[in-house]
């Protein structure tokens, strides 16, 4: 298979001009490199939109009015062919933080006039030198917490401004050997196969040890947090999470790819499950399935996974249970 220099160049050029965009000209900036019928998926309250103008109006204009002097601080950048469509489509993945000065209200969140870091992960499908499809996940509750307006009870793990990979080699501007990406995707798929429907039939820590290093780090979203080592991950997230849900559907991804030692996927949704109560302090869903929109990005070390950056659309999950966090916050501020 050919490399990904052309697709990476499109996305990097897009990011370069976007870094200088203002709320007044961002629609035109987006139009320069996206297809007219560009499909854009964002977390709640943004959801799905088509075309540059709609995406600018929905996300970029309000964001750039609220945050000044924005920098894109990438920690991971790679590309690959999508396993889900038979390795036909090429996607370019970027992960890191959008950092800026939080100077005006955003989504009803009160500004701090201080630095703020918006965690993001973005998947861009590139075709004929245009971005034709995007999934943009960002951690809005983390911004709320930085502004002193956390919507969640104390997390089971720890949430910080999350760093990139311990190897400091996550920016694959040059193409990595194809065999390395194949090995990474094989490891990710083995982990997904073990995960199944949470019913592999072995103790949780034993299950995890099949595909994870013992010193793994799971970098979870605001509301859950990050956790270190298999033992702590099992106790601080995976175990409590599985105990709070039942009847998990099989995994459904729109894109799954890898390059070098990095890989990842996103789903819309990834899976559904019945909430029995307790997750994020929420009550039972009374037998109704709730859905999870998720991004996972991985670092492979040798034959196992070493780090995992996770984005979950928490606000969407809560809305499927009848709680609109942003509306509730707005009412409380009246």
- In sequence order, the β-bridge partners of residue 22 are none
Q: d(Cα 25, Cα 31) in Å, to the nearest integer? A: 10
At 280 the pLDDT is 87
Alpha carbons within 13 A on the beta-carbon side of 248: 16
Query: Where does the chain have alpha helices with state H?
Result: 5-18, 26-31, 52-55, 61-66, 140-146, 178-195, 204-209, 230-233, 239-244, 314-319, 325-333
Question: Whose CA is closest to 147, among 189, 101, 116, 193?
Answer: 116
Q: d(Cα 93, Cα 48) in Å, to the nearest integer? A: 19
Question: Whose CA is closest to 10, among 96, 134, 119, 121?
Answer: 134
Q: d(Cα 229, Cα 306) in Å, to the nearest integer? A: 10
Q: d(Cα 277, Cα 304) in Å, to the nearest integer? A: 33
Which structural domains are found in the chain, ordered by start? 5-146 (3.10.450.50), 178-333 (3.10.450.50)
Q: What is the pTM of this model?
A: 0.95
pLDDT in tens, the chain (334 residues): 469 999 999 999 999 999 999 999 999 999 999 999 999 999 999 999 999 999 999 999 999 999 999 999 999 999 999 999 999 999 999 999 999 999 999 999 999 999 999 999 999 999 999 999 999 999 999 999 999 998 888 777 777 789 999 999 999 999 999 999 999 999 999 999 988 667 778 899 999 999 999 999 999 999 999 999 999 999 999 999 999 999 988 888 999 999 999 999 999 999 999 999 999 889 999 999 999 999 999 999 999 999 999 999 999 999 988 889 998 887 776 5
Q: d(Cα 272, Cα 249) in Å, to the nearest integer? A: 5
Parallel, antiparallel or unpaired: strands 47-50 and 34-42: antiparallel
């Amino acid at each position: 298979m050919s490399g990904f220099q052309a697709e990476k160049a499109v996305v990097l050029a897009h990011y370069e001009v976007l870094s200088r965009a203002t709320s007044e000209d961002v629609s035109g900036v987006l139009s320069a490199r996206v297809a007219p019928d560009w499909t854009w998926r964002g977390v709640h309250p943004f959801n799905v939109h088509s075309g540059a103008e709609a995406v600018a109006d929905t996300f970029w204009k309000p964001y750039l009015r609220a945050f000044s002097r924005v920098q894109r601080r990438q920690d991971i950048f790679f590309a690959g062919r999508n396993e889900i469509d038979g390795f036909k489509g090429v996607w370019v993945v970027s992960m890191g933080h959008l950092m800026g000065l939080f100077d005006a209200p955003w989504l009803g969140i009160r500004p701090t006039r201080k630095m703020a870091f918006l965690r993001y992960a973005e998947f861009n499908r590139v075709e004929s030198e245009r971005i034709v499809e995007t999934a943009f996940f960002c951690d809005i509750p983390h911004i709320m917490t930085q502004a002193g307006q956390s919507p969640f009870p104390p997390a089971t793990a720890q949430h910080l401004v999350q760093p990139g990979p311990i190897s400091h080699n996550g920016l694959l501007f040059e193409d990595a050997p194809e065999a390395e990406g194949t090995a990474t995707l094989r490891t990710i798929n083995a982990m997904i196969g073990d995960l199944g429907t949470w019913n592999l039939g072995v103790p949780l820590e034993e299950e995890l040890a099949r595909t994870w290093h013992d010193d793994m780090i799971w970098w979870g979203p605001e509301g859950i947090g990050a956790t270190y080592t298999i033992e702590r991950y099992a106790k601080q997230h995976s175990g409590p999470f599985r105990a709070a849900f039942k009847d998990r559907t099989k995994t459904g991804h729109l894109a799954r790819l890898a390059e070098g030692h990095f890989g990842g996927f996103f789903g819309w949704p990834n899976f559904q499950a019945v909430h029995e109560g307790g997750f994020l302090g929420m009550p039972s869903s009374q037998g109704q399935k709730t859905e999870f929109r998720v991004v996972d990005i991985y670092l492979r070390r040798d034959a196992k996974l070493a780090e995992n950056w996770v984005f979950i659309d928490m606000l969407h999950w809560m809305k499927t249970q009848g709680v609109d966090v942003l509306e509730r916050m707005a009412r409380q501020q009246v």
